Amino acid sequence: MSSMVDKVLSCPSLPTLPGVAVRVLDLTSKPSVSLATIAQTVQNDPALAAKVLRTVNSSYYGLSSPCPTISRAMTFLGINAVKAIVLGFSLADLTKKLGNGAFDLARFWRQAVYAAAGARALATATRSIDAEEVFLGALLQDIGILACVAALKDDYVIGVLEAAGEDHEALPLLEKEFIGADHMLIGKQLAEKWKLPSQHIECIAHHHAPDRASAANQKIVRLVALGRMASQALLAAEPARHLGALYQSGERWFGFTCEAMKEALRQTAEGGRELGKILEVPAGAALDAATILGQAHEQMLQTQEQMQAESVTLRRTNDELARKNITDALTGAFNRAHFDAQGRSGFETAKRNRSPFGVLVLDADKFKSVNDTHGHKAGDMVLVELAKRLREAAGKVGIVCRYGGEEFAVIVPGGTLVDVAKIGDTVRRAVEARAVSIAGSGGKADAIRVTISVGASAIENGNADMVPDLDTLVRLADEALYTAKHAGRNCVRINDAANPLPKPAKPAPTPVTDKGASDKLRLLIVEDDPLASKLLSVLLAKRGNTEIRIVPTAENAIEQVLGSGMPRPHIIVTDLNLPGMSGLDMIRKLRASAAAAIPVIMVTASGDAQTQLAAKDAGASLFIEKTDLCMNVEQWLSRIVDLAQPRQAA
């Protein structure tokens, strides 16, 4: 601690409380003390007792009938009220000898009594805090200033108080520069020396920074700070800043309305004037309450407008920041973090309510070639346009997010597998419909054609228990996207957890050694196109140890399976479009027959989402597009064998 601070705290002329005040503080700190004991202590000082009774019977306390004794005063007003009056008079007495020199004692007391009156009025408005304790805390808050004046005299007055002028908030900084500590710290140590209660010590130590007070005493310290603001608002030549701080702090800390603050200011103006007379301190000329309240009302309106404007601005700023936190900076779509948050929340809600929930994962086809051929600026322009078209096509039913790189995802709350497949196809067609402009990018063309591949998946009644979390659902959609890419791109593929697509890049099945006809895999191909049937038989025979029969119509197939007396096939592979009965109708009939357990695979050139869904609804075990089968023979053969194995074992 600096030598200046030591000089203040060790000064022999430091203010000291009179013995009666010390005794009253000691007695009131004891829970078991009697009112009579405290009353007798005050009455031992006849001059003080007379002042206390005069104060109790003044208009400030507004008793309905005169109070003749100190004991009755404590009964009417409480011990804390009498304690506050005793301490108030003691403080007034010990400051009288500080009135010489440059120190403006009248100004000090003017600020003190109005602050005390304001704090008491506001504490009364809360109906939850002892107003007399708050009153005393406000009256004592600046005793550190008295200590500095007593020890440093005019050096402190001129170097700090006059430099601060009306700006009381500037005092702590000026004091730290001049002394090395502020009047709050010095006042705290003086209060501890006086053995003041802890709540009053905190009022002295933190009245410029109430939020630093302990949780137990924060309310009383905040009320003391509000009392100081009210005093400054009423006494300053330019009250606007202090009134604004008072209204805003009162609303923030205690929820005070502007009308409540206006009434508190009225009581402060009247109470401060009355207190100055009661304590016989030079509180200055009486204030014109009507003028001050008029200014307060005008300031109240200005403050309300300012607070409303600031609230709107803050709300807009917060909304903008929140939007930025969940938005992809390049495309304007929601970002991956938003996908994860909304997706998990929506998925969990859907699982809990047993309602549908769908996800689309889509990817720009051959996007690397766009960057390589036209440059990254063109690539960025493509991504921005993709996001725009996705929002236009799906934004009303889904949440469009940039998942990463050229990959986007769409959350579809309430979407079944049928719904998300249709949305996926709508999105795909919206992207394919017209070229994307890359003019101004420096690319080799002004516009380029772009397509997307889409994978779709959803939880619904039939499969919800097979999809434990969002990550699994996204993985299913991602596998469907992978299948769409390998099917030639610019298409939609679905992946149902109840009938999942084969895993990519699975090792080719090991050929089975021919142990006789009974061990052969029996395949029935239903295809009316001779070339197509030949192609299918060649591809499917790659497994080895396979017996393949081909029929051209659905009717022939049903006869072979149900009425020919021949061994039933382990698996049936059918086209969609057949002469007579369609492949879909054949599947439905088989599912209603004794051959319902035989897996049926639909292999067709028509790979749109609606056809996939129709095949699934009819009961198809798998749906394969012919071009996809040709490009990924080993993968699909493995899946076909997996389907057939239970039938072979039987």
d(CA 600, CA 583): 10
CATH fit for domain 517-649, picks 3.30.470.30, 1.10.357.140, 3.40.50.970, 3.40.50.2300 = 3.40.50.2300
Phi, psi for residue 525 in degrees, rounded to 5: -100, 125
Bridge partner list, 522? 547
Q: With beta carbons less than 8 A apart as the criterion, state whether 42 and 28 touch.
A: no
Lowest mean pLDDT among 273-287, 396-410, 520-534: 273-287
Query: Comparing 454 with 546, which gets the higher pLDDT?
Result: 454
In this prediction, residue 491 has a pLDDT band, given cuts at 50, 70 and 90, of very high
- pLDDT above 60: residue 307: no
Q: Which secondary structure element, helix H or strand E, spans residue 616, and what is its range?
A: helix 609-618
Question: What mean pLDDT comes out for the span 474-482?
Answer: 92
- pLDDT above 50: residue 512: no
DSSP state of 496: B
- pLDDT above 70: residue 501: no
Task: Pull the structure tokens for residue 476.
Answer: 């299913």
DSSP per-residue letters across 239-264: -HHHHHHHHHHHHHHH---HHHHHHH
In this prediction, residue 612 has a pLDDT band, given cuts at 50, 70 and 90, of confident
- pLDDT above 80: residue 272: yes
DSSP per-residue letters across 370-409: HHHHH-HHHHHHHHHHHHHHHHHHHTTTSEEEEEETTEEE
Q: Which secondary structure element, helix H or strand E, spans residue 292, and what is its range?
A: helix 289-325
- pLDDT above 60: residue 625: yes
d(CA 624, CA 411): 26
pLDDT value at residue 400: 95
Phi, psi for residue 364 in degrees, rounded to 5: -70, 130
- pLDDT above 50: residue 384: yes
Lowest mean pLDDT among 386-395, 401-410, 512-521: 512-521
Q: What is the pLDDT of residues 522-575, one digit of tens each?
A: 889 998 877 677 777 777 777 677 888 888 888 888 888 887 677 888 899 998
pLDDT value at residue 317: 63
- pLDDT above 90: residue 241: no
d(CA 474, CA 192): 66
DSSP per-residue letters across 190-239: HHHHHT--HHHHHHHHHTT-GGGS-TTTHHHHHHHHHHHHHHHHHHSSS-
What is the widest separation between alpha-carbon atoms in the chain? Answer: 128
Q: What is the pLDDT of residues 132-185, one digit of tens each?
A: 999 999 999 999 999 898 888 889 999 999 988 888 888 998 998 888 899 999
Question: What mean pLDDT comes out for the span 334-343?
Answer: 92
Q: What is the pLDDT of residues 594-604, one digit of tens each?
A: 788 889 998 88
pLDDT value at residue 320: 66
Q: Which residues contact 644 (CB under 8 A, 6 or more apart)?
A: 521, 570, 571, 599
Bridge partner list, 572? 524, 600
Amino acid at 505: A
In this prediction, residue 511 has a pLDDT band, given cuts at 50, 70 and 90, of very low
- pLDDT above 60: residue 521: yes
Lowest mean pLDDT among 5-9, 206-210, 324-328, 363-367: 5-9
d(CA 331, CA 383): 6
Please give the C-alpha separations between residue 227 and each of 98, 114, 257, 294, 440, in angstroms, as whole numbers.
24, 8, 16, 19, 65
Domain residue limits, the chain: 3-307, 336-494, 517-649
CATH 3.40.50.10420 is held by the domain 336-494: no
In this prediction, residue 313 has a pLDDT band, given cuts at 50, 70 and 90, of low
d(CA 549, CA 553): 12
Q: Which residues contact 7 (CB under 8 A, 6 or more apart)?
A: 151, 152
- pLDDT above 60: residue 284: no
Question: What mean pLDDT comes out for the span 431-458?
Answer: 94
d(CA 594, CA 391): 49
Phi, psi for residue 60 in degrees, rounded to 5: -60, -35
Top-ranked range on mean pLDDT: pick from 17-21, 448-452, 518-522, 590-594 = 448-452
- pLDDT above 90: residue 378: yes
Task: Pull the structure tokens for residue 543.
Answer: 């497994």
Q: Please state, for a pLDDT cut of 70, what percent of the chain lies above it.
A: 87
- pLDDT above 70: residue 605: yes
In this prediction, residue 446 has a pLDDT band, given cuts at 50, 70 and 90, of very high
Mean pLDDT of the chain: 84
Q: What is the pLDDT of residues 106-117, one digit of tens each?
A: 888 889 989 999
Task: Pull the structure tokens for residue 375.
Answer: 């440059």
pLDDT value at residue 537: 78
Q: What is the pLDDT of residues 55-82, one digit of tens each?
A: 888 888 888 788 888 888 888 888 888 8
pLDDT value at residue 30: 86
pLDDT value at residue 581: 86
Fold of 3-307: Hypothetical protein af1432 (1.10.3210)
